[in-house]
Structure 1
């Protein structure tokens, strides 16, 4: 079970391929605020709702200085299909080895329909301009989560 991050922790750096196979690096975003969200699988109902919510609010978040990166264990090809099908504007990156998911505490045991399973824990980590964790939210709901982030951040 990976350790969960807490405010003040240094956000683990990562470089992962986006939907087009281009590297996306957290280190390249120093000086900017980044919302990194972790979701179980592209093209599933809850994850689609969450990605569409982030896309719908991207302008608002960007206006407040936030970039959004979605991380899942899907391969880049599936992320490309997801992006095209749903007209997503958020940056989606692939972590098939689950190394980044684990480093952020977003992979491990969770309850699913009353059973304990190992998988992606829907989580959001907000990283400040210095690369420190500002907020770390675990076991978030797919629906209404983006609105709550916007409210909590006072945007």
Structure 2
């Protein structure tokens, strides 16, 4: 089992609040996020961008390993992901993650590539996350 961590803080509430997010690896370290980084053009990140990066990288790695397992040794994979956040009643909901793949794989035919890519899409851990159990523990300092 592998466990990775990230943390987020948010000071102030609602649109007036500002936060930061950090990752265990240090790739993100107190990276700002807030209402205007999510819905405006203020510099910083947002949850949908982070999910898109996770999905694109996870799928691409899963496909790379699947192709290698089938004996392919030379190729280049480039994936972008577009995560859509839509209004849902009084709140919001992530409704889609659209992967767009550009691939060059020596010696593979289209049908075999499509089969391997579809399996990687369905079975990469981040794709599976969209249907995963989510747990929550909390401590409230009131």
- Calculate the TM-score normalised by the size of structure 2: 0.23
Instruction: Specify which structure has the higher proportion of helix.
Output: 2
Larger Cα Rg: Structure 1 or Structure 2?
2
Higher RCO, Cα 8 Å, sep 6+:
1
